């Protein structure tokens, strides 16, 4: 059974994230879906960073993904499968970002237990 944390990985404190993961594990969830970029309803993460800047030409912000890498590792440490949404079909997310984001998430977490979500 999967749980959808949506923006939880980007906005939660360490304590909030541990509470969330403990609850999900204790209630027999096995997968946690997370959003891995700025998203409708969330323009930046808790540190005020965005995944990318630009439109037709973009610049990916690797600092943004350090938080996501840590959250994915923590999901796995609770015995849960991470399901990062890396390709999101929202009009304002540039297609070039989607492909670069997917590559970045996969490369930085190649040893993680993940199932990738393409929407």
Examine the pLDDT at 24 and tell me if it is beyond 90.
Answer: yes
pLDDT at position 33: 92
Domain extents in the chain: 2-89+102-118
User: For 21, how many CA atoms within 13 A lie in the half-sphere containing its CB?
Assistant: 21
Could you identify the residue written with the tokens 């999101």? 88
High-pLDDT (> 90) share of the chain, %: 40
What sign results for the dihedral spanned by CA atoms 6, 47, 103, 53? positive
Q: Which fold has domain 2-89+102-118?
A: TIM Barrel (3.20.20)
Predicted confidence at residue 56, as pLDDT, reads 67
At 40-93, the pLDDT tens digits run 778 889 999 988 877 667 788 889 889 988 999 999 999 999 988 875 545 545
């Amino acid at each position: 059974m999967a749980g959808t944390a949506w923006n939880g990985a980007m906005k939660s404190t360490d304590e909030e994230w541990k509470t969330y993961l403990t609850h999900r594990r204790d209630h027999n969830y096995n997968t946690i879906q997370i959003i891995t970029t700025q998203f409708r309803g969330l323009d930046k993460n808790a540190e005020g960073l965005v995944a990318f800047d630009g439109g037709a030409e973009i610049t990916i912000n690797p600092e943004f993904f350090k938080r996501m890498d840590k959250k994915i590792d923590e999901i796995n440490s609770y015995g849960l499968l991470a399901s990062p949404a890396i390709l999101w079909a929202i009009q304002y997310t540039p297609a070039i970002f989607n492909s670069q984001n997917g590559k970045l998430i996969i490369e930085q977490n190649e040893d993680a237990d993940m199932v990738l979500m393409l929407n």
